[in-house]
């Protein structure tokens, strides 16, 4: 699920005219964020919106 979301987002970045370098950096940051969240037991799409 998250890989599909990332790929769709990166495709959108390409359509919007971002450079390959920018897209690569966004991809890296997103993967780091997902690893951070997974390390805390949170999977994207399963987040709890309690405040």
* Nearest Cα to Cα of residue 27 among 8, 47, 44, 45: 8
The per-residue pLDDT for 42 is 85
pLDDT > 90: what percent of the chain?
59
Burial 17-39, CB ≥16 within 10 A → b, else e? eeeeeebeeeeeebeeebeeeee
Print the domain residue range for 20.
2-39
50 in a structural domain = no
27 in a structural domain = yes
Q: pLDDT tens-digit profile of 19-35? A: 999 999 999 999 999 89
Q: How many domains does the chain have?
A: 1
Whether residue 50 is predicted with pLDDT greater than 70 in this model: the reply is no
């Amino acid at each position: 699920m998250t890989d599909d979301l990332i790929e769709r987002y990166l495709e959108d970045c390409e359509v919007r005219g971002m450079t390959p370098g920018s897209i690569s950096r966004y991809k890296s940051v997103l993967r780091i964020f997902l690893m951070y969240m997974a390390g805390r037991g949170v999977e994207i799409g399963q987040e709890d919106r309690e405040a």
